[in-house]
Structure 1
Amino acid sequence: MARLILLGHAEEQRKQNHLRVERRRLRDASNPLQLPEREFIANFRLSKAGFQQVLEELCPYLPQAQRKTAVRNELKILAALSFFANGSYQRNVGASFLCNMSQPTFSKCLHEVTDALNVREVLLKYIKFPKSQQERENIMKGFMEKFRFPGIIGCIDGTHVALIRPIDHEEAFFNRKNYHSLNVLIICDSNLNILHVDASFGGAAHDSYF
């Protein structure tokens, strides 16, 4: 009986190793940038030019590859963008023919890209509230021309971002819709550029906390 168990385990390990090698081979051959522009945008919610800019911005903040078999930075970012765009499960996104990653590999890539996006130098370059009078006047002009609303420098709203149930202070994150979340405030301009984000309150917090 023990021999059968060992043989079964060895066979399962062999299949896992074969799958890992095959997935790596497919990933190395994958080039999502060869997709037509429209299909690329449908998958990643970003144009190819926009992706190249994101790639240049984030590469300095992504961990340096230690192995030849490491996932390329462009695939890390594309996999993360697909997840952000579609809100799908990690396993489904990672297994996509465009990325070919196991769930653990994809999870690691997602954390790395998210950390890079949250580097202070990146955040402050793109998410900043208008400080000068000229910046504010330009935004007010945009709201007036597009929506005929005078004197507006930002639209404000909140949204609940779902979380896995936290261990500490669970009650602070359980919202009125009966799931755990962060109550996130976002302010944007007339072109939907994000000017400010506050994700410091749990889902149980009322909007007036902001």
Structure 2
Amino acid sequence: MSLLVITLAIRHDRRNMLRIQRRTLRDSTDPFSIPEPRFLELFRFSRTAVRVLLVEIEPFMDTAVRSTFIPNSSRLCVALHYYATGSFLRDVGQDFVCLISKTMVSRIVHQITEILQNHMAQRYIIFPTTLEQQNIVKQRFFTATGFPGILGAIDCTHVKIKKPPLAVEHRYINRKGYFSKNVQLVCDFDLNILACFARYGGSTHYAYI
């Protein structure tokens, strides 16, 4: 009987230790402590750029006082890592930087995406409409290439997506054999995105878009 009590006590202590480790793990994982080359590899942005972005979107992010709450810096890096690699959510959640469950990673990506779409996109993706803005873009192209009157460079790119419902999957299968959105982008000479159009599936030809 005493042996059973001791065994149960040991199991209880182990569970308590795991809870303590889980509570402290997330707070002790600081993505900004990663060396700059590795940080660029994981997130495709410099640490300075991510810090600036974090300051801008943090007012729109969730706040909490729970000890297990994932810091906003880690949340942003989880989303950026997913955008950068296109890997499955489980792979992102198991990265050594972001030890987060698949369910939580999915929630984080959804939240950050909504913030970027609703609060950031309209602020930064702006096509030049005034004569002064257009002349600046034209002059930059002309200085670099010698071509006059260019407002932007336009092209389409396939963005891979999950398999859509069977009834509409024919709209999204592209010529390379995978499902995608055919996204049209316009940028200036410095690669700043001026316009984005992501209405059509991968089966739609560039010329039609």
Give the TM interval when normalised to the shorter protein. Answer: 0.7 to 0.9
Q: Residue 128 of structure 2: SS of its match in structure 1?
A: coil
Aligned to 2:24: 25
Query: TM-score, with normalisation over the residues of structure 1?
Result: 0.83
CA separation in 2, counterparts of 1:56 and 1:138?
Answer: 29
Q: Percent identity?
A: 37
Q: What whole-Å deviation, never above 9, does each CA across 1:164-187 have from its counterpart, x for those lacking one?
A: 121142222122222221111011
What amino acid maps onto 1:29 in structure 2?
A: S
Aligned to 1:133: 131
Describe how 1:144-155 pairs up with structure 2 within 5 A: 144-155=142-153
What amino acid maps onto 1:72 in structure 2?
A: P
Q: What whole-Å deviation, never above 9, does each CA across 1:75-106 have from its counterpart, x for those lacking one?
A: 01011111212222222222122121122211
Aligned to 1:161: 159
What amino acid maps onto 1:63 in structure 2?
A: D
Mark the CA change 1:154 to 1:173 in structure 2 (over 3 Å): closer, same or farther. Answer: same
Larger Rg: 2
Q: Residue 84 of structure 2: SS of its match in structure 1?
A: helix
What amino acid maps onto 1:206 in structure 2?
A: H
90-99 or 104-113, which deviates more? 90-99
Aligned to 2:3: none
173-182 or 189-198, which deviates more? 173-182
Structure 2: state its 5+ residue gaps.
Answer: 1-10
- Verify the 8 A CA contact 2:54 2:73 in the aligned structure 1: yes
Aligned to 1:209: 208
Q: Using the TM superposition, give the Cα deviation of residue 137 of structure 1 relative to its aligned residue in structure 2, in angstroms.
A: 1.2
Aligned to 2:184: 185
* Aligned pairs, number: 196
Query: TM-score, with normalisation over the residues of structure 2?
Result: 0.83
Superposed CA RMSD: 2.4
